[in-house]
A and B are shown apart, each in its own frame.
With several copies, the nearest count.
Chain A
Amino acid sequence: MKIPPFKEINPPKNGYWINPKTKETYGGQYISPLLIPNLQKVEKCFEKAIKDKKFMRELEEKLLTFIGVNTPLLRSKELEEIAGGQKKVGKIYLKRTDLHHDSSHKPVNSFSSCYMAKHIFKAKKIICETGASMHSRSVAAACAMLEMDCEVHIGAVDAEKVSLNKDISELYGAKIVVVHESTKSLLPAMASALRSWQSNPDAMYVVGSVAGPSPYPRMVRTWASVIGRIAKQQFKQITGKVPSTLFCVCGGGSNLMSMAYPLLKDKTEIFAVESAGEGIPTGRHGATILGGSKMGILLGFKSKVVMKSAQIAESLTEASGLDFAAVGPEVAYLHDIRRIKFRSTTDMEAKKTFLMCCEKLGIVPAIEACYVINAALKEIKKRKNPRENHLIHLCGSGESNVNRMIKFKRENE
């Protein structure tokens, strides 16, 4: 298997994506001057890496054999049935990144970033933050294999929620820093990681989504796009066409960009799904775009952010991986130029979808993936177009959610 090569479709200028109509800028590098040299070094290393054929060949070899990036597309007749039957709604395919090593889409970026950190940046230590601990788990795995130190920042609430993934990160040898500040979730964890980087400028910071100061959003989506490049090729092989629609959940946007990026210039209609928490009108949600975000500047980048006056607002959702009051800058840009549409799913809908997937598909999805499956079914039902081929990103496996979900099941039966 050969991974289709990367083509830059949407390059930022000096770290910014620019809306041609409004001239709004997205991205940038808003960070203490202390870290500016580090960011410049990361950018240089990244440019060097993607041009280094030997490095890329070795990296892709590891992605194929260690991460197992050549995961299947599963035609789901069961979901078609639920949406009204293939004859009414077309075909539904699931991209199975739940089958990756460490059970989510995250390891493709995590491993690539760490591999670059080891061989080009020459770092001895990696610092990262994590929400659902999917990112930390895969960074820690990469660090174990690459003999690097690993420091993980996780919010105290998440450390409880996804303790399995956190424990696995620890088994891999990561040092876990539990963050008790502010919302005790992904956002303060990322702030904490960036703060730690300031104290350890020799380390490399590895972000878990298409967020953070430039060049991270671009770098992460470039690494992660391996997933979408393979998926696009597979989809064409199976159906002869690119997908009619693509559905991905959106926390920061890494799994979205991993799949959407190679399809940006295609006719595929792209949907990003946010967590509506207890319902967007309640204010208790994790929906950045649909929850009334404004442009803001945090954690090193400028993008859409949910705020309460100038403070970053709490994001509230069952899914630790979606508990992020912002989206990556390229995602905000793609929303604003209307290339990506947004939908949402409430926590309750997602939890029911979790049980449904277990009982009807024989798949334990990451709770994050349940938001997208639910929203995709709603949209596909509505479209009622039998000639369409739908693609849903099943971006993770839910072992870490079992504890909470089995309680939910027992309470609701």
Chain B
Amino acid sequence: MNKNFQEMFAKAKQEKRGSLIGFATGMDPNYKTSKKILIEMSKHCGAVEVGIPFNTSTSDSSTIMDANMRAIKAGANTEKIFKLIKEVKSKIKNNVPFLIMTYMNPVYRYSIKKFAKKCKTSNVDGLIIVDSNNNSPEDKELSKELKKINVAYVKLVAPTNNEAFIKETLKKCSSWIYVVSYAGLTGSKQVNLGNVKKISKLIRKNSKIPIGVGFGIRTKSDVSKVIKIADATIVGSGIVDIVGKNAKNHNLTKKIGSYLKNLKKGLNK
């Protein structure tokens, strides 16, 4: 397990609370502001998830799609997002783990080996690839590479998946597992607690890996409900919405800060 994540979950356990993982698209709305946003997020979140935008994403709601397009317009590419994370991590004082969230194409085009190495040298702690199929040659190579260097490979499971699939996924998954709370797109619906319970049970039956729940978590009350079941919760569209609406507002980071502060109140077990 990646050390920073290990510490994050241990500390949370100690404090009898769950962890908040915040997501933002890297370089949205631009490099400089994104840097400020990520630093602000690192102050409030247990971990920070940074998206490498992909213009042909198949799982993002229009909120995230818009963020992707803003970032691409601002010149975002894989290299620059690595640089951004590295710079942010050197600026922050804590050990908040950083993840990259993206699709397989940017990784594949960068070269899987090089990408894994670059994670290490950029102080990236984990990787989420939304469209990585357990059985693809790329997934196999990637999980092997990440394991070598102790970068967490966080995999997704969804309400439509059966136990066989979950078992297979668990084999590759490291540090924690990402549970999608409903059948749909990021931020497009309300969190479905029934789903979450059902999948969590199947996971618990097969593993002790911490569970993070994402999709549809926007309010303190969402966080609070989810944290009763899971170890962490991922908030994405809620943050990206603020960025989208306040891209030129100098209070942007403050707004994100207070949004996250409020969410944190829901973290207690």
Q: Give the size of the chain A interface in residues (CB under 8 angstroms).
A: 38
In the docked arrangement, what's the CA distance between A195 and B136, Å? Answer: 21
In the docked arrangement, what's the CA distance between A302 and B54, Å? Answer: 15
Of B72, B106, B169, B183, most buried by chain A (CB within 10 Å of CB) is: B183
Residue of B nearest to A296 (CB): B105
In the docked arrangement, what's the CA distance between A182 and B56, Å? Answer: 8
| Minimum C-beta distance from B179 to chain A (A) | 10
Bin chain B's interface residue count: 35 or more
With an 8 A cutoff between CB atoms, is B60 at the interface? yes
With an 8 A cutoff between CB atoms, is A297 at the interface? yes
Residues facing A in B30-83 (CB within 8 A) are 52, 54-62, 65, 69, 72, 77-78
Of B56, B106, B137, B156, most buried by chain A (CB within 10 Å of CB) is: B56
With an 8 A cutoff between CB atoms, is B210 at the interface? no
Cβ–Cβ < 8 Å partners of B180 in chain A? 32-34
Stretch at the interface among A1-9, A104-112, A303-311: A303-311
Knowing A34-B180, A37-B160 touch, does A28 contact B60 (C-beta < 8 A)? Answer: no
Knowing A181-B65, A201-B183, A310-B105 touch, does A30 contact B133 (C-beta < 8 A)? Answer: yes
Cβ–Cβ < 8 Å partners of B135 in chain A? 14, 29
* Candidates B60, B109, B165, B185; contact of A296 at CB < 8 Å: B109
Knowing A32-B58, A299-B58 touch, does A310 contact B137 (C-beta < 8 A)? Answer: no
Knowing A30-B133, A296-B105 touch, does A198 contact B184 (C-beta < 8 A)? Answer: yes
| B156 touching A31, Cβ below 8 Å | no
* Candidates B55, B78, B130, B137; contact of A32 at CB < 8 Å: B130
| A194 touching B58, Cβ below 8 Å | yes
Cβ–Cβ < 8 Å partners of B7 in chain A? none
With an 8 A cutoff between CB atoms, is B161 at the interface? yes
| A311 touching B59, Cβ below 8 Å | no
Residue of A nearest to B166 (CB): A33
| A34 touching B183, Cβ below 8 Å | yes
| Minimum C-beta distance from B128 to chain A (A) | 11
With an 8 A cutoff between CB atoms, is A300 at the interface? yes
In the docked arrangement, what's the CA distance between A32 and B157, Å? Answer: 9
Q: How many A-B residue pairs have CB under 8 A?
A: 122
| Minimum C-beta distance from A156 to chain B (A) | 14
Residues facing B in A301-324 (CB within 8 A) are 302, 305, 307, 309-312
How does the 8 Å CB contact mask read for B127-169 relative to A, with 1 for contact and 0 for none?
A: 0001111011110000000000000000111111110010001
| Minimum C-beta distance from A244 to chain B (A) | 38
Cβ–Cβ < 8 Å partners of B136 in chain A? 28-30, 302
Cβ–Cβ < 8 Å partners of A25 in chain B? 137
In the docked arrangement, what's the CA distance between A81 and B199, Å? Answer: 45
With an 8 A cutoff between CB atoms, is A246 at the interface? no
How does the 8 Å CB contact mask read for A166-200 relative to B, with 1 for contact and 0 for none?
A: 00000000000000011000011001001100111
Cβ–Cβ < 8 Å partners of A30 in chain B? 103-104, 131-133, 136
| B58 touching A31, Cβ below 8 Å | yes
| Minimum C-beta distance from A267 to chain B (A) | 34
Knowing A32-B156, A34-B180, A195-B60 touch, does A181 contact B78 (C-beta < 8 A)? Answer: no
With an 8 A cutoff between CB atoms, is A391 at the interface? no
* Candidates A37, A305, A310; contact of B110 at CB < 8 Å: A310
How does the 8 Å CB contact mask read for B208-238 relative to A, with 1 for contact and 0 for none?
A: 0000000000000000000000000000000
| B58 touching A37, Cβ below 8 Å | no
| Minimum C-beta distance from A413 to chain B (A) | 27
Of B58, B110, B130, B131, most buried by chain A (CB within 10 Å of CB) is: B58
| B54 touching A31, Cβ below 8 Å | no
In the docked arrangement, what's the CA distance between A198 and B77, Å? Answer: 27
Cβ–Cβ < 8 Å partners of A296 in chain B? 105, 108-109
With an 8 A cutoff between CB atoms, is A38 at the interface? yes
With an 8 A cutoff between CB atoms, is A44 at the interface? no
| B169 touching A309, Cβ below 8 Å | no
In the docked arrangement, what's the CA distance between A142 and B24, Å? Answer: 42
In the docked arrangement, what's the CA distance between A198 and B131, Å? Answer: 12
Knowing A297-B131, A310-B109 touch, does A195 contact B58 (C-beta < 8 A)? Answer: yes
Residue of A nearest to B136 (CB): A28
With an 8 A cutoff between CB atoms, is B188 at the interface? yes
| A300 touching B58, Cβ below 8 Å | yes
Residues facing A in B185-223 (CB within 8 A) are 185, 188-189
Knowing A30-B131, A32-B131, A37-B161 touch, does A297 contact B105 (C-beta < 8 A)? Answer: yes
With an 8 A cutoff between CB atoms, is A358 at the interface? no
| A191 touching B57, Cβ below 8 Å | yes
| B56 touching A187, Cβ below 8 Å | yes
Cβ–Cβ < 8 Å partners of A32 in chain B? 58-59, 130-131, 156, 158, 180
Cβ–Cβ < 8 Å partners of A38 in chain B? 160
Residues facing B in A1-49 (CB within 8 A) are 14, 25, 28-38
Knowing A182-B56, A187-B56, A191-B58 touch, does A297 contact B104 (C-beta < 8 A)? Answer: yes
The 8 closest A-B pairs by CB, nearest first: A34-B158, A310-B106, A199-B184, A310-B109, A194-B58, A297-B105, A30-B131, A312-B56
List, sorted by A's number, 21 A–B pairs whose CB atoms are closer than 8 Å.
A14-B135, A32-B131, A32-B156, A32-B158, A33-B165, A34-B59, A34-B183, A35-B160, A36-B160, A36-B165, A37-B162, A181-B62, A194-B58, A198-B184, A199-B185, A296-B109, A309-B78, A310-B78, A310-B106, A311-B54, A312-B55
> Contact residues of B with A, CB < 8 Å?
52, 54-62, 65, 69, 72, 77-78, 103-106, 108-110, 130-133, 135-138, 155-162, 165, 169, 180, 183-185, 188-189
**Besides A32-B58, A34-B59, A312-B56, 14 other A-B contacts (C-beta < 8 A):** A28-B136, A29-B136, A32-B131, A34-B156, A34-B160, A36-B133, A181-B65, A187-B56, A195-B59, A298-B56, A309-B109, A310-B77, A311-B54, A311-B72
